[in-house]
């Protein structure tokens, strides 16, 4: 079957690290198809020359494969000359086995694009792409920080320090101060003064937990880990400040997203830079969920629906949403009830993914409408009264509206 062309002129790029293969298909007035193929290098001057060459043909459609991160700089070069290219999934344009070359790939891309068979993925605008770099690096720092904290806990346990058995977080203010005191050579009795009075553990329990057998190797390893942990925390704070400053114009939307249980300010900021502010780019909430890789694939045969594995999507967005779902599952809200219902039937992992899917659909609706989240289970009026009633009563008594209690 011959593919019927619907575009007169198209351009297709086969992208590699140090090589760009470009194919131009142009239909003349006589109905003949002219094919132009040219190869460029991967450096800045080559990308600029490629963009100018493609622009000279004035193509209706320009497509390229999403090859790793190599497509980003050619895409930016095309953007500078006013071309919005379509970035397509490589799985959708797979060539015939045994006939794979760079020129053949570019030509096949052009044929499919000319027939209107390719659909581009979501590419955020330039400012959001730059903020994505900040957000994703911050997530990487967070992963390293968690690993370093776990490592320090193991080394302390190896040295006989059982502080994690009596405090909920050994990296809290009191626990960290006590560990630093031990590293400075203080005795367990001396570092006990750093313990906050709100700790549930008794002094005897804390003394027993702090009494270990730390060797010089333990002291060295823990002190180096402590320095690295504090460095990572400072870096994360710097990256977060930069991220929030870049989203200063979106403060109302950031505050609205924080009304969803489980979402704090960093989580709302990371969500926005991944999905953007224009939900028309996705069309529907289910398409956004599919793009994020949070819904199962269709697997039906002979009228029977079978279990389908979820597709690969935006891994960064999926991680953020799963962390939000973990936090929302511990709240008193309708989202927590949904988690409990699915957890009882399908297990925790499936329940977390299902809850993340629901939260993403809520986020889609909130960004599209500009509204805030209202939970069906929460009585907001009663909650406001519960929080403010003691203060109101004190003021009413102070100004004589209510008699003082006997």
In contact, 239 and 141? CB cutoff 8 Å: yes
Place of tokens 């911050």: 138
9-114 homologous superfamily: Ribonuclease H-like superfamily/Ribonuclease H (3.30.420.10)
Return the half-sphere exposure (C-beta side, CA atoms, 13 A cut-off) of residue 225: 24
- 388 is written with which tokens? 């403010």
Tokens describing residue 159: 């040295």
The confidence score (pLDDT) of residue 333 equals 86
Confidence (pLDDT) at 195: 87
Specify the pLDDT at position 222: 94
Task: Look at residue 1 in the predicted model and tell me its pLDDT.
Answer: 43
3-state secondary structure 120-166: CCCCCCHHHHHHHHHHHHHHHHHHHHHHHHHHHHHHHHHCCCCHHHC
- In the Cβ-directed half-sphere of 228, how many Cα atoms lie within 13 Å? 17
Residues 336, 330 contacting (CB under 8 angstroms)? yes
Rounded to whole angstroms, what are the CA distances from 304 to 290, 299, 300, 350?
21, 8, 5, 21
Give residue limits of the domains in the chain: 9-114, 127-247, 249-369
SS3 81: coil
- From first to last of its 406 residues, what are the pLDDT tens digits of the chain? 467 888 889 999 999 989 999 999 998 877 788 899 999 998 999 999 999 999 999 999 999 988 888 999 999 999 999 999 999 887 777 766 666 788 888 888 998 899 888 888 889 889 999 999 999 999 999 999 999 999 999 999 999 999 888 888 889 898 999 999 999 989 888 988 888 888 888 888 888 899 888 899 999 999 999 999 999 999 999 999 999 999 999 999 999 999 999 999 999 999 999 999 989 989 899 999 988 988 877 777 777 877 767 777 889 999 999 999 999 999 888 899 999 999 999 899 999 999 999 999 999 999 998 888 888 777 667 777 888 888 888 888 888 888 887 6
pLDDT of residue 96: 60
Q: How far apart are CA 133 and CA 240, in angstroms?
A: 12
| pLDDT score of 406 | 67
Residue 305 has φ and ψ, to the nearest 5°, of -90, 125
Burial (CB count <10 Å: 0-12, 13-18, 19+), residue 383: exposed
Tell me the pTM.
0.83
Positive/negative CA dihedral, 392, 394, 397, 400? negative
What is the C-alpha separation between 229 and 4, in angstroms, rounded? 60
């Amino acid at each position: 079957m011959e593919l019927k062309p619907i575009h007169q002129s198209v351009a297709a790029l086969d992208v590699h690290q140090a090589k760009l293969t470009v194919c131009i298909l142009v239909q003349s007035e006589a109905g003949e198809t002219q094919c132009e193929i040219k190869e460029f290098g991967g450096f800045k001057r080559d990308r600029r020359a490629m963009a100018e060459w493609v622009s000279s043909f004035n193509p209706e459609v320009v497509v390229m494969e999403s090859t790793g991160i190599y497509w980003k700089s050619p895409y930016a070069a095309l953007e500078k000359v006013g071309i919005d290219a379509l970035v397509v999934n490589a799985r959708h344009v797979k060539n015939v086995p045994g006939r794979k070359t760079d020129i053949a790939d570019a030509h096949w891309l052009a044929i499919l694009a000319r027939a209107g068979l390719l659909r581009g993925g979501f590419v955020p605008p330039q400012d959001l792409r730059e903020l994505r770099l900040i957000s994703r690096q911050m997530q990487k720092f967070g992963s390293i920080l968690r690993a370093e904290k776990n490592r320090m806990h193991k080394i302390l346990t190896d040295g006989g320090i059982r502080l994690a058995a009596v405090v909920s977080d050994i990296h809290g203010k009191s626990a960290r101060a006590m560990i630093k005191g031990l590293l400075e050579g203080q005795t367990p009795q001396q570092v006990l003064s750093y313990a906050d009075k709100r700790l549930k553990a008794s002094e005897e329990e804390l003394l027993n937990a702090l009494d270990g057998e730390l060797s010089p190797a333990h002291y060295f390893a823990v002190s180096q880990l402590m320095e690295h942990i504090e460095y990572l925390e400072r870096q994360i704070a710097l990256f977060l400040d930069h991220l929030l400053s870049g989203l200063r114009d979106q403060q109302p939307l950031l505050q609205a997203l924080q009304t969803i249980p489980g979402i704090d300010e960093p989580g709302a900021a990371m969500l926005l830079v991944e999905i953007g502010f224009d939900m028309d780019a996705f069309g529907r909430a289910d398409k956004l969920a599919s793009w994020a890789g949070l819904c199962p694939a269709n697997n039906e045969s002979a009228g029977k629906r079978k279990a389908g594995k979820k597709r690969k999507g935006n891994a960064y967005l999926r991680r953020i949403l799963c962390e939000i779902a973990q936090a929302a599952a511990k709240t008193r809200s309708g989202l927590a009830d949904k988690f409990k219902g699915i957890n009882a039937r399908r297990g925790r992992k499936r329940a977390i993914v299902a809850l993340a899917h629901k939260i993403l659909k809520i986020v889609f609706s909130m960004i599209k409408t500009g509204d805030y989240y209202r939970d069906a289970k929460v009585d907001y009026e009663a909650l406001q009264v519960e929080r403010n009633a003691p203060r109101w009563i004190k003021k009413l008594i102070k100004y004589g509206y209510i008699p003082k209690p006997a």
